[in-house]
Amino acid sequence: MTQHPVRKARRAQYALTPTRARLQSLVGGRPRRPRRIAMLSVHTSPLHQPGTGDAGGMNVYIVELAKRLAELDIEVEIFTRAIRSEDAPLVQLAPGVLVRHVTAGPYEGLVKEDLPAQLCAFTHGVLRAEAGHRPGHYDLVHSHYWLSGQVGWLAAERWGVPLVHTMHTMAKVKNAALAEGDTPEPTARVIGETQVVEAADRLIANTAEEAGELSYHYSAREDQLAVVHPGVNLDIFRPGDRAAARARLGLPQDAPVLLFAGRIQPLKAPDVLLRAVAVLLEREPGLRERLVVPVVGGPSGTGLAKPESLHKLAAQLGITDVVRFHPPVGQAELAEWYRAASALVMPSYSESFGLVALEAQACGTPVVAAAVGGLPVAVQGGRTGTLVQGHDPDTWADALHQYATRPELVGQQGAAAARHAAGFGWSTAAAATADVYAGALARQAGRLARSRLRIS
């Protein structure tokens, strides 16, 4: 793949007058880490509550990664769209981490699908913020999701810095595994993702499988790809007393608890869990008196069109007596739900990784997950949980039965799950990400040096 012509011209211009910091990256021949990066999250703010609207695993990813990068002396400024007039222009999320609210379109009433029309305004806000500083204020751009990638592409070219991009999800992958009745991702997104892949210096994938999908579906080059597993906050998500957690949440001590935690939308397939529970109770009616199925989360994405559909499905299946709906909660309370559960259930049709699977395991809870995307990396099937092929309710009922009837299995796999998750700390992920940044800067420095030699 040839270098993008606009980017090539822009970098040639910057090669004439490189900043001292960029030249210093050549000193001693050692790659340097950036001093300050611009991190872009157009459609969802790191300050939003995960589990509502478009806030989910990506929000957790950005917050935790930014905090750990700051601990490595890499300052992070996160640009996101302001959705309320009272949003302060600048918010300190943590030491070394700032959130910049950019005005782009009306504060309210815009869904994610409307945002491409506001990317020009958002880009203007990003460039305007940089213009208030000396040249070279940002060493690198790291964009998240394709909308941010479009902005990052232009900002990186304007500033003459590398663009690192994380997809999180991909249109072609999602469209290949749609839930029944779900809406396909539009062609405009496919085109936009293709452009971002072409423009990016490095692409961070959550797993080797995702890297393969970037290569297969979007023709990403091998030298663009880096695999960095996401992490889990081991200070918050850690094993604890299951009985105490159940007492605090008002759950029966002897109940099999099959938990769903996440955004309620067809992609996450909470309906598969409910249908499987109905099959399970039909096979073993005696479970009805003890079984509890908490659903913790709010409608999102295409699920917003029918926010009550899951409640109606529970009624149609005759299982409203065992299903309990709860709104999204903060991380500390979510950890309590994980500790209280016999198993976390993730029947998703597509997951780039599945951070909630790591969170639950870190709390000592096994996970029953669909064998899709990054979940086979996050969950060790047969050791820390069960991986299920397909989405047939009968098959899922088979998988769930053992967690509803074998408390000794819950204990054994829960202990193994906690050990497994302990290897996925965010500090490890941040260090690996910082190495990706250093590699991107080193390659750019090499290009600048070669350009200077040609000019001289």
Does residue 149 have a known ligand-binding role?
A: no
Does residue 169 have a known ligand-binding role?
A: yes
Does residue 341 have a known ligand-binding role?
A: yes
Between CA 139 and CA 437 the distance in angstroms is 9
Does residue 347 have a known ligand-binding role?
A: no
Does residue 50 have a known ligand-binding role?
A: yes
Does residue 189 have a known ligand-binding role?
A: yes
Does residue 56 have a known ligand-binding role?
A: yes
Does residue 137 have a known ligand-binding role?
A: no
Does residue 185 have a known ligand-binding role?
A: no
Does residue 107 have a known ligand-binding role?
A: no
What SS3 state is found at 306? Answer: coil
Q: Is 342 left (phi over 0), alpha (psi -120 to 50) or beta?
A: alpha
Does residue 59 have a known ligand-binding role?
A: yes
CA 184 to centroid of chain Cα atoms: 20
Does residue 268 have a known ligand-binding role?
A: yes
- 25 and 448 Cβ atoms separated by less than 8 Å: no
Buried b (16+ CB within 10 A) or exposed e, 49-79: ebbbbbbbbbbbbbbbbbbbbbbeebbbbbb
Please report, as a single letter, which amino acid is at residue 223. Answer: D
Does residue 308 have a known ligand-binding role?
A: no
DSSP β-ladder status, 140-144 and 97-102: unpaired
- Nearest-5° angle of CA 380, CA 252, CA 283? 65
Does residue 383 have a known ligand-binding role?
A: no
- Listed as own residue / partner, the contacts of 85-94 with beta carbons closer than 8 Å and 24 or more positions apart are 91/47, 93/46, 93/47, 93/63, 93/66, 93/67, 94/66, 94/67, 94/70
What SS3 state is found at 164? Answer: strand
Between CA 1 and CA 293 the distance in angstroms is 50
Between CA 346 and CA 273 the distance in angstroms is 8
Alpha-carbon dihedral angle through residues 241, 243, 244, 246, given to the nearest 10 degrees: 120
Does residue 22 have a known ligand-binding role?
A: no
Does residue 4 have a known ligand-binding role?
A: no
Does residue 152 have a known ligand-binding role?
A: no
Does residue 64 have a known ligand-binding role?
A: no
Alpha-carbon dihedral angle through residues 329, 85, 265, 233, given to the nearest 10 degrees: -40
Q: Which two tokens stand for residue 85?
A: 């007039």
Specify binding-site residues for 1D-myo-inositol 3-phosphate. 43, 54-59, 112, 145, 169, 189
Specify binding-site residues for Mg(2+). 338-339, 341, 365
Specify binding-site residues. 43, 49-50, 54-59, 112, 145, 169, 189, 263, 268, 329, 338-339, 341, 351, 359, 365
